[in-house]
Amino acid sequence: MIEAERSEAPASPGERLYRWLDARFGVGRLVEFARHKEVPVGGHSMLWYYLGGTTLFFFTVQLVSGVLLLMYYQPGEATSYESIRYITAKVPFGWLIRSIHCWSAHLMIASLVVHMFSTMILKAYRKPRELTWVTGFALFAIALGFGFSGYLLPWNELSFFATAVGTDSVKSVPLIGQWLLEVMRGGPDVTINTLYRFFALHIVILPLAMVAVLSAHLVFIQVQGMAPGMAHQRPDRPGLKFFPDFLARDLLLWLVCLIVLAILVYLLPYGPGIPGMEWELGKKANPLAPAYPGIKPEWYFLWIYQLLKEFPAHLFGMEGPQAALLVVTVLMGIWALVPFIDRRARKGQPSPAFTDLAIAAIIFMAYLTLKAWDIGGKGLPGKLPDPRATAWVCAWITLGLASGIAVLRILAYRQRWMVFSGAALLQVVLNGVFGMDYLIAGGIALVFVIAGLVVASRKQPSVQVGVPR
């Protein structure tokens, strides 16, 4: 040992530091691990492996811009709105920091959603990575919580009413609904106390939760490595080294994201102007004023908002909102537990049913989101949009989207399992094109699903030919 040291050239400061740390903390093991870390290659586009990183990047941007905003933001009846006005109008580059924070929030959630669907379709959740999926789902919920709590902090008209509408649905939770409502709002109505609670949620509670769950998520990935493609499609190719190759590409993508963010912030400082995605400061919240016309929650909540509107006042002995919340809970539960339900993927076999389930989810949420935007409803100032006209136009748009996806699947990937997506599309067509009630159409679609599953289980394994996912 001593001979080896003496025979080498004088060590650089960096090397000396490394050796000092290694002797005390075994840093060398970490370096060895990093040197051998690889990203799987083959089977599908490498693009999908970057999406978790972009989500993390946007979250980091949120953290930094959020801390900067915190330097000037003051929660309070006379100061919440005023301090944000001060930041955007007077503080040098305050407009930039605030706009970055708003844009990056939406980009983070968009990136998260694409990341979630890509891992779903590529079956990255299969054994042994079930808990990575579950923690990922928890991160999704936390991110939505961030979005919802942060939205109220400017204390302007839009956020006040959006929060009132959003928190209202909580009272439909059985047994603890009213209690939950009052705890969330800090009282029966939305007041400045609600803002104080949301502020605590936004800057302490959720960040702590995020850090904890994110650490778990990342540790799982380090220990298990990134998910390779399915066995049947993975040619025997060596992986791409994480350090420095993948990391370099990752950093380049993050830089591109930053550039895109800068351009968006400059061109559209208040958002693209789509309802549910706009953040002009507007007027200060006035709890005594009547509700804002055309109030909409943020775009990622629109499908729940629309679903609540589709339910009648009472259904099967429950109140409408309660039934709707039950449906949403069941769907989310299925989604969270997908790794444990998908037996074929667990065995490493192609699982086209779950790919189809992901497509069905996209169709389901897209249709509701489009309807929530009143697209095609011919709404004018003073005239409410016509729900029938909206449903018609949105149904055709969704049909177009779904057809495109189906053609892609059949031709490019030779998939033929369409039961779930077919059922979702059936509901869309029955409701939008033929005017059937949304829930009745849903019932018919459910029957279709059950029938399809029964038929499929009769026809045994080799129902799919080709290379499905």
- In angstroms, what is the minimal distance from the CB of 252 to other proteins? 5
Pick out residues in 99-128 that bind other proteins (CB under 8 A): 99
Q: In Å, what is the CA distance from 145 to each residue of 138, 316, 329?
A: 11, 30, 16
Pick out residues in 340-399 that bind other proteins (CB under 8 A): none
> By C-alpha distance, which of 165, 237, 221, 223 is closest to 194?
165
- In angstroms, what is the minimal distance from the CB of 74 to other proteins? 6
Rule CB under 8 A: say whether 223 interacts with other proteins. no
Amino acid identity at 460: Q
Residue 275, preceding peptide bond in cis (omega within 30° of 0): no
Name which of 74 and 215 has its Cβ closer to other proteins: 74
Q: How many residues bind other proteins (CB under 8 A)?
A: 43
CA distance 440 to 431: 9
Rule CB under 8 A: say whether 86 interacts with other proteins. yes
Among positions 30, 71, 204, 211, the unique one binding other proteins when judged by CB under 8 A: 71
CA distance 96 to 90: 12
- In angstroms, what is the minimal distance from the CB of 449 to other proteins? 39
CA distance 367 to 425: 9
- In angstroms, what is the minimal distance from the CB of 12 to other proteins? 16
Question: Tokens 């980091």 sit at which residue?
Answer: 60
Rule CB under 8 A: say whether 240 interacts with other proteins. yes
What distance lies between CA 257 and its chain's CA centroid? 17
- In angstroms, what is the minimal distance from the CB of 25 to other proteins? 28
Rule CB under 8 A: say whether 245 interacts with other proteins. yes
Among positions 72, 117, 335, 396, the unique one binding other proteins when judged by CB under 8 A: 72
Among positions 10, 13, 14, 92, the unique one binding other proteins when judged by CB under 8 A: 92
The H or E element spanning position 319 is strand 318-319
| DSSP H helical ranges for 291-437 | 302-310, 320-336, 338-341, 343-346, 352-372, 387-413, 419-432
Beta strands in 203-280 (DSSP E): 240-241
Rule CB under 8 A: say whether 425 interacts with other proteins. no
Among positions 31, 176, 212, 251, the unique one binding other proteins when judged by CB under 8 A: 251
CA distance 192 to 198: 10
Among positions 183, 212, 231, 255, the unique one binding other proteins when judged by CB under 8 A: 255
- In angstroms, what is the minimal distance from the CB of 73 to other proteins? 8
CA distance 84 to 104: 17
Pattern 7-46, other proteins, x by CB under 8 A: ----------------------------------x----x
What distance lies between CA 227 and its chain's CA centroid? 20
Among positions 60, 79, 178, 215, the unique one binding other proteins when judged by CB under 8 A: 79
Report the interface residues with other proteins, using CB under 8 A. 41, 46, 68, 71-72, 74, 78-79, 82-97, 99, 240-241, 244-245, 248-249, 251-252, 255-256, 258-259, 262-263, 266, 269-270, 280
